[in-house]
Structure 1
């Protein structure tokens, strides 16, 4: 497929994903206020609220991938966008904590369906020699939405009210729905689809992604706290440095896995991320910690495109939807485990917590290497 044919469709998918996940991100700073100020809830109930959507998305992703293969990516994405719009309506209704939990369940289903169907659509569009780059750009749209959404949500809330936020959270996925509606889905559908929710082709890439994600989770959850504990101000700069490197390297070097192969990228990415985590573990000033975060973020960012490439090459066509969904689900599992384990270790020593993350990241190197060596050789002439 020529670039003139696939590029506009891919741009539409990126725009739809960005709109949807900006809406998802908008409620991140708002829900704690809603739970504690309006619903008389506790900090624990705030945590439950966020956990609910993550767990549901984790469970639904493999099913969503299978459904997209059976019925069409466009149809599944449209339904996912409708569910995210409906989530905003539930936020607005005076149903208490039970209604909020129901909204988060609906959100988990909607975002899983939209993201996974879009992933399969993206894979089908991308030329084989650019698959890692295009899949990486697609994922970057989600992360950009998560980064932009909280800032936008805080601004809308300050300028208006909770209701103003709910309106914005409904409008954005509605825009995504309209964008998707205008796209033409030429992805083959209706073929035999495996019922496996954890295909063998997803296990090692998923384990590798989970190990690499420990570093991201540790920086996001504990870097600022570690700096404060060491008497260093402005610890949030460390988190920002990780994010800046993540985005910059993905944009500038996103085609490297396609050009040199997935295996060298996995080895390099995991090694570099581990070095960054060690620097943060022992950093007693902001600049060294920020340098470590830049190195770690730059390493981590190409890990997912490389592992997605391995999974696509290894998975039979009938398992591809479930395989991509399962690999992405390993990320969610890792974030949850890293939060629990990292929190427990941080009570003893932040240095120990970040060193554990560095060790976990090296586990990504071994699992990813095994996955790459077990995948079939790529045929550049294949469609």
Structure 2
């Protein structure tokens, strides 16, 4: 089987499982507040618990993928995802739902990080940035398709229909994975959870993620306070630019090298955020969303390339996991810090976000320096 067919299979499996994860997103708030007697705080706890576990376990997932093979770990994640779908249907109240969401964090960490390690092993070096970027779109696409599927299934068959999809999709993913050749194993794997090779690229990626987090949390609100309608549509505009740019321009990090792409991407995202924060009308804000989405999308593959090139083979799994964890941390910080600043000024929130994003310009060159590393 060629590397391209293997890659297509693992991408399809990742898309299916993350679609299953996303399908629960629109119905969990209803389940908590209407069926389980929970509060909005409990809704937030259900989602935060998953994110916290995923963030903590991604470096472990990378280590395990190198030690036992990526396919084996992705199969375990897909099987666990199917169990999670069944657990949603059990009548064990709010504590059971929180436990289910905690286990979902384990499945997410195993699936995405093992798949990223496998992708790096499969991709030809001349196309590594492009292939890593395409891999990331599988998760993004699943999280986008999942809520729409979940809402449609809920209207057709209420909760049981959603839970059924949350079981069937991971089982289909497992069936696909079982037919793929096993991923390579590394004889000696470093015990470092946050290798030095991942720190500076992770901080640079986190700077971009901070801007994205501010956009998601406050973009629509920033427009509505100025009387500009259709603020929620900005996310669709951003997403379209994000996907289209990665598909069309995904080879730029390979052809030009990561640093020129990081510079242009950071500038584009920062300018786009400033346009949204100070937009006098819808079309300026929409243009800002296009710039932000197009800029942000190529930061991950570019910085992943730097991380891979700097990390010794025994540390690569943990390094890729740590890179994603730093992304999550900064995305979460954007909601907290952005919320404090937004109480004073929405334009100020976006000005801060643009300034943080520009931090990638300083961190990028530093991230390319060699690091010493032991196993």
TM-score range, shorter-chain basis? over 0.9
2: distance between equivalents of 1:152 and 1:71?
34
User: What is the distance in 2 between the residues matched to 1:218 and 1:349?
Assistant: 13
Pairing 1:69-80 to 2, within 5 Å after superposition: 69-80=66-77
Instruction: Find the counterpart in structure 2 of residue 338 from structure 1.
Output: 334
Counterpart of 2:99 in structure 1 is: 102
Q: Work out the CA distance in 1 between the residues paired with 2:364 and 2:186.
A: 32
CA distance in 1, matches of 2:196, 2:68: 24
1:297 aligned to which of 293, 299, 304: 293
Distance of 1:229 and 1:375 partners within structure 2:
47
Superposition map of 1:133-212 within 5 A: 133-187=130-184, 189-212=185-208
CA 1:309–1:36: 2 relative to 1, 3 Å: same
Equivalent in the alignment of 1:42: 39
Contact 1:313–1:375 under 8 Å retained in 2:
no
Identify the residue that residue 131 of structure 1 maps to in structure 2. 128
Q: Matched residues in 2 for 1:190 and 1:311: separation?
A: 18
Aligned equivalents of 1:356 and 1:244: distance in 2? 24
Rounded Cα–Cα distance in structure 1 between residues aligned with 2:43 and 2:3: 42
* Counterpart residue number, 1:351: 347
Bigger drift between 215-224 and 48-57 goes to 215-224
Which residue of the partner structure matches residue 310 of structure 2? 314
Question: Would you say the 8 A contact 2:196–2:371 is kept in 1?
Answer: no
Moved more, 177-186 or 305-314: 177-186
**Contact 1:224/1:236, CA 8 A, preserved across alignment:** yes
Residue in structure 1 matching 2:23, options 23, 26, 31? 26
Q: Which residue of 2 aligns with 1:116?
A: 113
Point out where structure 1 has 5 or more consecutive residues left out of the alignment.
377-383
**Residues 86 and 167 of structure 2 are in contact (CA less than 8 Å); yes or no, is this contact kept in structure 1?**
yes
How many residues matched? 372
- CA contact 2:71–2:183 (8 Å) conserved in 1: no
Q: Which is further off, 338-347 or 128-137?
A: 338-347
What whole-Å deviation, never above 9, does each CA across 1:167-225 have from its counterpart, x for those lacking one?
011111111111001100241x1511100000000000000011000111111111111
TM-score (norm 1): 0.95
Gaps of 5+ in 2: none
Scaled by the length of structure 2, what TM-score is found?
Answer: 0.97
Residue of 45, 59, 62 corresponding to 1:62: 59
RMSD: 1.2
